[in-house]
């Protein structure tokens, strides 16, 4: 097999995996192989586990969130930067079903995923520290609280809602969370 064939197979597996996620289907490598019409051994050679494929699918979204957090830190207003990044995180999770399982996982298969998640955690911590320093957020709120609240907002808006209702619900729930986190002048 040539490198070109290997690259084409890799991309076809990724595209098929994306279709599975977008349709809400479980990411099972044997089924991905069957639907992609690629040998199971080839799929496993590229992606030894379903988690490795999931993390590969999530990577562009994680990279985009890192860029958005870095841009938020260059802003002028701590609260607007913090809240804006949380909105971006919520929107990203709604747009890409690969992200929420990555955020919920305690370990990651691929080193790149672990690095990106660690970078996002650090950036979230920096945004939170900036909001604390500016006196805009309750002092007892920690980074882990923010991460859990964001996962909770997405889960609450997706568990019992039709897809078309989810963006409005997540914004409403996020507004409630932000209202609770903010310090009043």
CATH of 55-181 given 3.40.630.30, 1.20.1250.20, 3.20.20.60, 1.10.357.10 = 1.10.357.10
Residue scoring higher pLDDT (183 or 15): 15
Residues 85-108: tens digit of each pLDDT: 999 999 999 899 999 999 989 999
- Break the chain into its structural domains and give their ranges: 1-48, 55-181
Mean pLDDT within 126-151: 93
Residues 68-81: tens digit of each pLDDT: 999 999 999 999 99
DSSP one-letter code for 165? G
**Helices assigned H by DSSP within 37-110:** 40-46, 50-73, 78-95, 99-104
| Topology given in CATH for the domain delimited by 1-48 | Arc Repressor Mutant, subunit A (1.10.10)
Mapped onto helix, strand or coil, the DSSP state of residue 52 is: helix
Tell whether the model's pLDDT for residue 1 goes beyond 70.
no
Tokens describing residue 174: 């996020």
> By C-alpha distance, which of 88, 94, 40 is closest to 64?
88
Residues 26-61: tens digit of each pLDDT: 999 999 999 999 999 999 999 999 999 999 999 999
Tokens describing residue 33: 């192989």
pLDDT at 160: 80
CB within 8 A of 23, min separation 6: which ones? none
User: With contact defined as beta carbons under 8 Å apart, do 125 and 164 qualify?
Assistant: no
pLDDT at 185: 65
Mean pLDDT within 169-183: 91
pLDDT at 167: 87
* Whole-number average pLDDT of the chain: 93
Rama region for 135: left / alpha / beta (φ>0; ψ in -120 to 50; rest)? left
**N- to C-terminal Cα separation, the chain:** 66
Residue scoring higher pLDDT (14 or 1): 14
């Amino acid at each position: 097999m040539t490198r070109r064939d290997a690259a084409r197979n890799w991309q076809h597996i990724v595209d098929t995996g994306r279709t599975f996620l977008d349709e809400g289907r479980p990411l099972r490598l044997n089924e991905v192989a069957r639907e992609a019409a690629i040998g199971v051994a080839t799929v496993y050679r590229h992606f030894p586990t379903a988690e490795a494929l999931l993390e590969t699918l999530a990577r562009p979204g994680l990279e985009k969130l890192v860029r958005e957090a870095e841009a938020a830190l260059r802003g002028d207003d701590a609260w607007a930067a913090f809240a804006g990044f949380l909105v971006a995180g919520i929107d990203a999770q709604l747009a890409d079903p690969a992200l929420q399982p990555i955020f919920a996982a305690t370990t990651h298969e691929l080193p790149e995923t672990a690095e990106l998640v660690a970078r996002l955690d650090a950036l979230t911590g920096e945004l939170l520290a900036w909001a604390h320093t500016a006196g805009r957020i309750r002092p007892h709120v920690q980074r882990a609280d923010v991460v859990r609240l964001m996962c909770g907002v997405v889960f609450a808006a997706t568990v019992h809602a039709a897809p078309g209702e989810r963006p409005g619900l997540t914004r409403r729930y996020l507004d409630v969370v932000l209202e609770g986190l903010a310090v009043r002048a």
